[in-house]
Structure formats: C-alpha cells, structure tokens
Structure 1
C-alpha cells in the first residue's frame, strides 16, 4: 500500500506520525512511504534518516496523495482540499469540534479512523493513553507556572516547604490524565484532591502517591465545595469518543479566588469546564472571572520528541495492519473497529453522530 505522512501544521506542533524506524518497518513489509520534507524535524528526525530507512520525500500534496495517510492531529481548513477519499488515521476528536470537519470528511468520502476511539479487548484507549499521560504530567507544571505572581497568578507555589505542603490542586476525573496529573502535582508537593466515579482508582492513586491524597465521589455539590478552595483546577474528564460533560460550571469558576488557574485537558473533546475555550501554544491563556484559563488543544506537542516516540510505538501495529489489509484488518477486532468514525459518506461511530446532532448521517459500518 502507498502510505503518506504529511507535516503537522497546527500551531507549534512538532510531532510526526512516523519515525524513521517506523518507515523502515513499512518498507520491509513491502509498502511505499512518502514523508513530507521536514515532517520529522520538530521531533529531531532529519529527512536523511527517512531516506536511509527506505522512504521517499515529497511536498504536502505528495504526502497526502496516498491510499493511507498517517497524521497526529486532525486536518485543518487549509488541508481540506487534500481529502480525496483516502484512509486517514489520526486524532480526530470529531465530537469536540464544530461540524465542519465531519461534513468535509463525509462529503469527500474519506475513511476516517480515529486514534482516540480505538479500544483493546478491555475497553482501554490504547492510542489515546500515551498522550493523555503526557498531558496529565504537563497540567500540574503548567498550572504551577501560571500561579506565579509574575505570570498574573495568586502567588501560591505548588510545593513542599520544610515539610508543609502548599497549594491546593483539584483534578476532575479519574482516568489516565487525572492519574498522571495527580502524581505530578503530589510530587511537586501540593495538596491534591481528585473527583472521580471509581473509588478503586482512588485507592490506586493513594498507593502511587501518598495516603493523604484525597479522593471523593464526583457530585455537583462536592465538586463545587472543592473548586472554591482550589488554587489550580485540572479538567480531566473523558467520555469515549463523545463530547465531555461540563462538570465545573461557570458559577463554580466564579468562586475561585483571583489569580487561580484552570487547565482543561479535556478541551479536545469540548472541555469539562464551562468557561473553557480552545487556545494555542502561541496564545495559551486568557483571563475570565479573574481566573487564568489554559486550554491548549495539542498540549503534548510542546514535547514532540517524547510524544512522537510514545505515540508511534502505540500506533505502528495498527497502522501496519491497515496497510496490509485495509479495513479488513478490523474484522474480528471490535475494539479496532471502534476507531472507524466515518466511511463511504456516513458517520460510523454513534457517539460522534449524537454529539454533533447528525444521527440522520449515522450508519453502523456493518450495515454499509
């Protein structure tokens, strides 16, 4: 199969969907790979490394003009013209954005396969997990940075000073993002509370951090009480492939003290904090109700080398299967099949159709 890897063009996005080692694996399996020149530079991979691995170089048009296109982030408007019915394997987050991209994918007959909805037999999101872990690690350190008075924050350090923990961090969610954010915040020396739905995860977190980490069941009343006392609120809610729920309301945000910080990692799926709106690495924050909001939609892009290595290791086995068998690779693998979001002009992942109000455009892939 002919495979293309375009350069990512999202703001300050340095990740790439294939390493030179991955290109070699495809070449050894008999596939041809076209990498857009410079696609790997942000992650520290030179064009010559791809050539040495058996790939060829081209411009953006050449990278997109293939049977299977591998990316990291969703196509932006300037890339819509390249969508010509090929298979596209990338993060799409269709439920968290406007209808426009979905409508383009349907109109162009793109076979859209989303990293974030692929599951294993246990229901785990294997291709989302590495980026969730990195974003969770980032959330605590970013929040700590913007809490500094010099950055417009309230001047509270997340840290242990002579045995006393300073700074209150509330993490809303109990998945991978939340677990890594909790470990990072606790490691900095903050007081950490986690709002979740699974008490067993709370016990696991205490075992990985410390017995004084607080875990409580996420109810509106409990979340509101903890928000009011927090210095940093981290949004880490995830619904598989669907839009995130607003767990933290605008009224709750208004109770935060001036100079507090919100980091909404859920923003790719629409955000779980009602006052969140997408931001970029170039313009990462805004102020609302006296609170600094950080809602960058490609957080792991800030650490492209680490992110690329973690992501491509997870994606490679599935990408190789697609290259060898096309959509037949999903037969007998229900979890892989859940990655298919659009095909033959139809939305094939129900949570996306529901989130966008496009159920009339939904059809199960088995019915096509």
Structure 2
C-alpha cells in the first residue's frame, strides 16, 4: 500500500502523522511511504531523517493526496484537504465529527473511508485518544495557571499559593483520563483540587489515589454549581465517545463565579462542555465572557509536538500497519476494536453517535463489512 503523511496546516499544529521510526516500520512491511517536505520539522525530524527511514519526499499535499491509498494525519482535515480526498481513499486521523457538520458533510461527499482515532476502542477504553488526553489534561493546568495571571485577564492568583496565603481552588469536571491528569498536575502544584464525576467507581478510585491531596464529589446540578462558584480555575474534562459534549456549565452560572476566574475547556474538540465555549487557537487562546476568562484551544497537545507525536505514534502505528498489510476491511474483520473507528464510508455515516447528533442515516459497520 502507498501511505502518505502531509504537513499539518491547522493553526500552530506542529505534530505529524508518522515519525521517521514509524515510516521505517511501514517500509519494512513492504509499503511505500510518502512524506510531504518539512512535515516533521515541528518535532525535530528533518527531511533527511525521513529519507533515511525509506520515505519518498513529495513537494505538496496535492501530490500526496493524489497518489496515496491511505493518508495518515493528526488533526481533522481542513477544508482544502477535504477537497483533495477521493472515493475509496483511506483517511486515518482524529476527526471529532459530532460538533463539526461542515467537515462531516465534506467527508460524506468525498466517498472516502474515514477512520477516527478517537473512537477506536481497546481494553475497555479509547487507547488512541488516551495519550493526547493525558497531554491535554496536564497542559490544561499550565494554561489555566497562565490565564489566572492578572496580565492575561485573570484574578492574579497563584495556583499553589504561598505560606500564609491560600492556594487557588481548582474544580475538575470529569474523572476520566483528562480529569485525572489535570487533577494530578494541579495537586502537585499545591492547589485545592475537587474532582466531580457521576460514576461512584471512578470517584472511589480517585479518592484512593489522591487521598487527602484532592477531594471528590458526585456531579449533580447542586454540587457542580457550588464547585464552579467557588473555583478560581474550572477544567472541563467530560467525554461521551464520538458524541458532542454536554453543556454542563451554563452562561447563568458565570455570574456566580469570581471575576477573573478561568474556564479551561478540554472538551472543545467535541463541542465543549461550557455553554459559552467556542474554539480558540494558540495564537489567540483566550477570551472573556461576563468577566470570566475562557481557554478553549482545540489542539492543545500541538504545542508540545514532539512529546505528543511520539506518544500518539506508539498507539496509532499498530493499526496503521494492520490496515496497510491486510486492507481496511480485512483489518477490521480481524479487529473489532479498529472497526469502532470507522466513522464515514462511501458517503455513509457509520458511527451511531455522529449520525444521531448530526441527523444522518446510520449504516452499521457490520453492514459495511458483510
């Protein structure tokens, strides 16, 4: 199979779909790999590194999309990239379709086979999403701490406080991978951390892990409202696989918060879990609504591109090899977890939550593979 990795073009996206080491693995399996020139510079991988790994360097994304059977990316294809997709071509990347009707319509129209990292399952979780959730959870505390500084519109509060001055209060909504990593970072900095979740088992595990370093509360309307009102920093860390995130913090709740408090919405890729959230970029990461600072960067891990790319390739490469070796249909017949990643096929939506949220007819993966 001919596999290609273009240079990412989303704002300040420095990650790359394949590392030179991943290219070498694909080449060893007998596949031809194309890499757009300078695609890896954001992780310190030069064109020569890719050439030594066996890649063929191409001058443009247009050439790569035209010639490759499978395109491996990191972020969802931008409009100009979606226009280059063709019927039967495999796209393997993060998609986050539920809050993005425009992208979804373009992918349906393309006739391409679109496999989303974020819905591939395994061992009871989402293994291709997990490493980026770990990165984003940890980064949310760094970003939130910066946004709390007065010069950035915040309250002028130090997360860990100092002797004689109380630390900042941090509320983490959601106790999954993002929430756990955010709480771990915040507690490590000495903040007063509360984690909210609706699953008693999750709360028990978090309580056992953090002991006195963080508090846990059941996430009902009353507890959520109280924690948001008291917090200096709120981390939105909820996830419904493949579906749009629920709007848990309403605009009315902003009026109960301290002026200059910060909302960091890590769920923004799935539409955000704050009613007042909208995607921002690394160039312009925050905005203020009703005196509350919002941080809603949709590709947070792109800022730590080398760490993120290598962590991502560790989990995406095995599936890429299986798809290239067997073809996507046979790979999915052998691996039901990979089959969960199929979101769009030949003009049909094949992921139920996306079809439901965006009003498409749903075609099951079982029907596609039959």
What residue in structure 1 maps to residue 77 of structure 2? 75
What residue in structure 2 maps to residue 330 of structure 1? 332
Q: In 1, Cα distance between the equivalents of 2:92 and 2:331?
A: 13
**1:203 to partner: Cα distance:** 3.4
What residue in structure 2 maps to residue 88 of structure 1? 91
Deviations for 1:298-332, whole angstroms, at most 9, x for unmatched residues?
A: 00001000000100111000000000112210114
Deviations for 1:81-117, whole angstroms, at most 9, x for unmatched residues?
A: 21112100000000122x1111111111010000000
| RMSD between aligned residues | 1.3
SS at match of 1:211: helix
Deviations for 1:114-143, whole angstroms, at most 9, x for unmatched residues?
A: 0000001x3210000000000000111111
What residue in structure 2 maps to residue 57 of structure 1? 57
Deviations for 1:217-274, whole angstroms, at most 9, x for unmatched residues?
A: 1111110011110000110000011111111111112211111101000000011111
Task: Tell me, yes or no, if the aligned pair for 1:267 and 1:295 is still in contact at 8 Å.
Answer: yes
What residue in structure 2 maps to residue 304 of structure 1? 305
Identify unmatched segments of 5+ residues in structure 1: none
Task: Tell me, yes or no, if the aligned pair for 1:168 and 1:229 is still in contact at 8 Å.
Answer: yes
Q: In 2, Cα distance between the equivalents of 1:151 and 1:34?
A: 42
What residue in structure 2 maps to residue 132 of structure 1? 133
**1:165 to partner: Cα distance:** 4.9
Over 3 Å counting, the alpha-carbon distance change for 1:163 and 1:110 in structure 2 is farther
Q: In 1, Cα distance between the equivalents of 2:40 and 2:226?
A: 46
What residue in structure 2 maps to residue 236 of structure 1? 237
Over 3 Å counting, the alpha-carbon distance change for 1:144 and 1:295 in structure 2 is same
SS at match of 2:309: helix
Task: Tell me, yes or no, if the aligned pair for 2:175 and 2:206 is still in contact at 8 Å.
Answer: no
Q: In 2, Cα distance between the equivalents of 1:103 and 1:96?
A: 12
What residue in structure 2 maps to residue 345 of structure 1? 347
**1:164 to partner: Cα distance:** 6.4
What residue in structure 2 maps to residue 364 of structure 1? 364
Task: Tell me, yes or no, if the aligned pair for 2:132 and 2:312 is still in contact at 8 Å.
Answer: yes
What residue in structure 1 maps to residue 111 of structure 2? 109
SS at match of 1:262: strand
**1:63 to partner: Cα distance:** 2.1
Q: In 1, Cα distance between the equivalents of 2:279 and 2:119?
A: 21
Q: In 1, Cα distance between the equivalents of 2:52 and 2:348?
A: 40
Task: Tell me, yes or no, if the aligned pair for 1:160 and 1:188 is still in contact at 8 Å.
Answer: no
Identify unmatched segments of 5+ residues in structure 2: none
What residue in structure 2 maps to residue 17 of structure 1? 17
**1:212 to partner: Cα distance:** 4.2
**1:205 to partner: Cα distance:** 2.7
